[in-house]
Structure 1
């Protein structure tokens, strides 16, 4: 592959990560900090995203949360333990396969998940609305393309290719 093209891709990726962090993550955490909900303030950095994921899925295996969040098994286990200790989630055995554990939200977790999703949706509408409808569609298509390519690379690496 052309070294200049690789350099361009690496720089675009770094800029994307920096802008995403600035526009979405930093604003999201500022809105959480400004919230009057005391329970949201109990959450550490990765826990809001985990609650939103669990809330969207209703019941989910911890390993699936790890895939969405890019977390290794031990960090993920500690985070789920902490959420369980704080009363946000519960673990249940999968009725179809007792070897599997499913994580779901408690009532406290549901309330927080709803607030977090509302904050996230409002931010997305606000930020992406600044770009216009066509830009929003382009952004969505670009994310789908990036995920497809990254999943293909991940699959190739996982299969030892």
Structure 2
């Protein structure tokens, strides 16, 4: 809805709501900063030879029992489509970061597992991403970080409540569906 990135466009978004709308302003800022962080993480991941999504896929695999998963389970855990995982798996396998095995119980099914090269790539990239998180939150106290985490959790919970429900656009007076 509001992927407004530069300050001029963000200001336009604020002006769309006469008298100001603090929640909209907060969401615009949240979307903007998360977009910028994601864009920076994607750029840095590319410098390591992976997309950010591929790095996350390797991290999710590393957290699995036996570092193994089906592509569909991996897609679900990452919140992406099976098509996106399919192309990621092909690329990660071609680059030698994962191994792919046929499922002995399902002739059409496969499992993927993290291998030593994949673990090595995670170990190479983790310090950057851990350092980035530390730098972004370095001006916050431990208490403030806990509060921030609580606020984000509350936003996520509120979104889960409204996701898929009918919402009314007060400017148009018509109902709209909140989509995923």
TM-score, length-scaled by structure 1: 0.68
8 Å Cα contact 2:96/2:118 also seen in 1: yes
Alignment CA distance shift 1:32-1:77 (3 Å) = closer
2:41 to 28, 45, 68: 28
Distance (Å, rounded) in 2 between the aligned partners of 1:115 and 1:63: 27
Q: Runs of 5+ in structure 2 lacking a partner?
A: 1-16, 167-180
- Which residue in the other structure is 1:114 paired with? 123
Distance (Å, rounded) in 1 between the aligned partners of 2:143 and 2:82: 39
- Which residue in the other structure is 2:69 paired with? 60
Q: Runs of 5+ in structure 1 lacking a partner?
A: 35-39
CA RMSD, 1 decimal: 3.2
Alignment of 1:4-153 (within 5 A): 8-22=22-36, 24-29=37-42, 31-32=44-45, 40-41=48-49, 43-57=50-64, 58-93=67-102, 98=106, 101-153=110-162
Secondary structure at the counterpart of residue 129 of structure 1:
coil
Distance (Å, rounded) in 2 between the aligned partners of 1:44 and 1:83: 10
Deviation at 1:86, TM superposition (A): 0.9
Alignment CA distance shift 1:17-1:110 (3 Å) = same
Deviations 1:76-96 (A, max 9, x none): 21111111111111223567x
8 Å Cα contact 2:54/2:88 also seen in 1: yes
TM-score, length-scaled by structure 2: 0.62
Alignment CA distance shift 1:125-1:44 (3 Å) = closer
Alignment CA distance shift 1:126-1:144 (3 Å) = same
- Which residue in the other structure is 1:37 paired with? none
**Number of matched pairs:** 145
8 Å Cα contact 1:88/1:106 also seen in 2: yes
